[in-house]
Amino acid sequence: MIRTQIQLGEDQARALKGTAARNGISMAAAVRQAVDTYLATHGLDDSTTRRERALAAVGTFTAGPRLSQEHDAAFSEEVGR
């Protein structure tokens, strides 16, 4: 783990301390959980998750039979060049 220092407002610190105590975890663990949740909901997930999502998308789109052979022309047509 990487040690880091953050500053919280008084209300944030009080709420975090209470939440951590109710859940039987340290404040640091509560912060890590909050960061994980934030990253997951804002699409900033790790490379393994991005790879899994990309592989899951393979084959779900159709582009027509000519695209694999004429991709440059199709791209130019789409972007208007």
Class of domain 1-44: mainly alpha
Taking the CA atoms of the chain, what radius of gyration do you get in angstroms?
23
Amino acid at 64: G
Provide the whole-model pTM.
0.53
Q: For 3-28, what is the mean pLDDT?
A: 96
Supply the DSSP string of 16-64, one letter for each residue. HHHHHHHHT--HHHHHHHHHHHHHHHTT---HHHHHHHHHHHTTS----
Report residue 73's pLDDT band, with 50, 70 and 90 as the boundaries.
Answer: confident
Least confident segment among 5-9, 12-16, 42-46, 68-72: 42-46
Domain boundaries for CATH 1.10.1220 within the chain: 1-44
Report residue 3's pLDDT band, with 50, 70 and 90 as the boundaries.
Answer: very high
